[in-house]
Every structure is written in structure tokens, then in C-alpha cells.
Structure 1
Amino acid sequence: MPQRLLAPQDAPASVVEFEHGGATLIAETFGEGERTFILLHGIGMGRSVYLDIVRRLDGHGRVIAFDLPGFGEAPEPARTLTMERHADLVAAYLRDAGEGPVIVIGHSMGSQIAAELANRHPEVVAGVVLAGPTVNSAARSIRAQASYLLWDLIGERPIVLWRGAREYLRGGPHLIRKIRATVVHDAKRAYQRITHPTLVLRGETDPLAPITWCRDIVAAISDAELREIDGHGHSTLISDSGGAAEYIRRFADRI
């Protein structure tokens, strides 16, 4: 049975296990309000590492945080999901739950899924937040992505390292296969096809989402803006997410 996380200000939270097409995700809902955010985690992560951003969005709408198949508490699927299949699964959940249109917040790998969700199921999306969007076209290899991730972790807060290590262990023996699924995905094309209002976020020292790459993404989308968070790297939604939350709230208010 999936465990409930600590809800912001002890607000009611619900945890749902949802199966579709042979894969299972876990969705936990926090807060109340007419506006709904959904939060898609990065590679090797799960919903438990994003409690800071969930708390900071409290009072600005409901937040649905996911454990995608094979991550967090969600069971390992028989086959590793592509970014497209991840998006189809999230869309199936949103339709089944009567949710949408939502503001989808994707972090790292979650940005790739967010883009596919907006492109393949535009009716369930109101706006898109790409936080630390991967995979940079100049570094589409498992070795490059892994080395950048390790580089980014240097100097991180102990709580981030602990939570990240725990979730990577949960990711299990198929983690390399999952990373490969992000690398083979044509992220650049997916981002370029987005037609919804879009916010691109990056930490100023993020090696996985370099500034030139983020600028290219913004230039390709008709309604997009880029914001940088000083003093942060790739984990800007995990570690002290106040700056990111403020930009997300402003973005949500204008769409």
C-alpha cells in the first residue's frame, strides 16, 4: 500500500495507485483550489523528494505529485516506458480522475514527459513548466548525462544527497535502461512542438540544462519565457525551491 507523504500544513492528502496499459503510477494530491498543478519527477527520483516545492505551492492550488512506473513506490513495469508512454499513462490518469486542464511541472526527465503530454494530449494541459529540461542535444549519451549529474551533486545539501541516494536505490537494477530511454528520446523536437504557454527554469550552475540549450527551447516556442535561479543547480525544485516556486506562481497567474 503506498504511503502518504507529509502534507503541507497537515492539509488532507489522498494517495491513488493507477494502472493503465500494463504500467502503474502512484498519485498523491495535496491542497485545495480550482487550479491544479501536476509534478513529474526526474530520473531515479520519486514524489518524496519534492516536498519543498509542494509546500511552497500550497495555497495557490492543488498539487498532484507522481511516482512514475519503476520509481519511488510505483512497481517496476514489465517493459521500460518511453517518454511517450509515460505521457499517455499520465493522461489516462488525468482523464480517469476528471482532472484538467492542468499546469504540468516537469523536472529533468519529467520535462521530457511534460512536453510529450502537452503535444500528445493538449486538451489536458493549460501550461507547461520545464525545470532543468533534459536531454541537451550536444550531450545525448548515458555517460555524458551521468557525469553531468555527478558533477551537479558536488556541494549539494546532505538532505538532497540522502533523498536522492534513497530514490536511486529504489529505481532498482533497471536504472541504466531507464536513463537510455531518456537519451534516445528526441527531446529537442518534443520541446519545439509545444504550443501551450511555457516557463523554462534552470539553476544558474545546472550542467544538464546549459543556458544555450534553454535559450534554444524558449526560442522555438511561441509563448515561452526563461528564468534562472541564482545559486542553484539541477536540483532547484528539490533544494530550497523558493525561487522556483515564485516563478511558477507568477507564470500560473498569467495563463
Structure 2
Amino acid sequence: MSTDFKGTALVTGASSGIGEVYAERLADRGYDLILAARRVDRLEALAQKITARTGRKVEVLRADLSDRKDIAAVERRLADDATITLLVNNAGISLEGSILENGSENIERIVTVNVLAPTLLAAAAAQAFVARDKGGIINIASVLAFVPEMMDGIYSGTKAHLVGITQGLAAKLQGTQVRVQAVLPGATRSEIWEKSGKDVDAMMPGMVMDTADLVDAALVGFDRGEVITIPPLQDEAQYKAFEAARMAMAPNLSRKEVAPRYRQHA
């Protein structure tokens, strides 16, 4: 356990799964904690357990990130609390069924929780951290950002958004002491599957990573300064080739002339 005080880490979706493990690991690293989620009883139980084991200060913050007022309250905390040095944007939800089986209410909720909330919180944290030239932001995305065809496109799209804002922010943060990372888990053992009515072990037998392994690997990537961390990807060369192809294409994506293949021929 680290005895060096690292500041305070604010972790969203901290009542279970990936967020709960991040809370445990960050306390071990010397962070005090602000744990944000809807289920206060579970947050309080986790807070008591962490404080008893590590001696770290742990605060519980009730926040329903599908509610714009609760998002704003967390934004204010990030902007005003100078002790906060790390944001873990972990809260997220999935859908039962696809875009074809869900109405506007469910679609709006997943976009609010998975896109609006983490974007606004990342913005508040980044602005505060840059002003102090110190801090870190960890956005929990998904490998589905790269393969939206594998499951529902809405969930995949929300996670692609997190990858995009992470990469864009990383470029803006060059030369500062503020770091940003997107973590892309594959199938991971967490309650998000049960809530969406999916049996992940039946869907992907032998492919489900334990939550603790995922978080430990992600923190190794954070320590190394990675912008994109993909714990289940065995062959890193595949991602490097993907990035190289993306960057090679970038200068050719905006031109005055239409590409010849799209010109009308008599």
C-alpha cells in the first residue's frame, strides 16, 4: 500500500464492478476517494471497507448520471475541489435489445449516461487540471468502439465517442502534466450485463475477463502514459497497424475535388 498522498480520485459508477475495483486499487496507491453512483448504501459499505483497510478518506456522493442536475453537481465538484487529481469516468449502461427494439426514452438515457455525462465531466476535470498543470482522466470505453457490428450500435457508438474525445484531448494536453487515457475492455465480468438482460458467459464462453485483471492491466497502461489501453489485445502490432493506417489516411480525408470513383460517367 502506498503511503504517498496522491490527491483525491473521483470515480463514477463506483458501487460495483470496474468502478469498485478502481476505488480499491486507487486507495492502495495513496488516493483519497470520492465515490459517485446512485446506490448510496453500496457506496457507504465500500467506503467503510476501504477506509478500514487503507486508512484513506472516502466520501460518498450520490449521483444519477441520467439526471442533468446530478451531472451538474459532479461537474461543480470537479471544478471547485482543488484536491481532486484524478477522474475515472466509469459509469455506463447498456441496452436490452438493439436500436430496433428500444424507444426514445431508453435511447436518450444511454446517450445521457454514456456520452453526455462523461463528456461534461471530462471537460470540467480537464479545465481544472490544466489550470493547475496536474491531474489525470481515465475514460472507460470498450473494444466495441472498433467493432460496432458485434453488438448494438448505440452502445458501441457511445464508447467510440469516449475514444474520440480521449484522443482529441490527448493532443490538446501535450506539453502539460495532465494525462488522459481511454481503457477499452472486452467482455468483463460486471453487473452491466445482468442489468441489460445478457448472459455474457453464454454469449462469449471463455472470453470474459475478470474485473480485477482488467483494472490492474489498465493501471499499468496508465502508468506507461498510454492514451489507448486494450487489456485483452494480445498482439499490440495489430493496434499499431490500425493507428498507422488511420494516420496515413488523415491527410487525404478533405479535398476540393470529389474522388474519381464518385464521379458520374456518361
Same-fold status (TM-score > 0.5): no
* Higher fraction of strand: 1
- Whose relative contact order is higher, 1 or 2, with alpha carbons under 8 Å and at least 6 apart? 1
* Higher fraction of helix: 2
Choose 1 or 2 for highest CA Rg.
2
- TM-score in terms of structure 2 length: 0.38
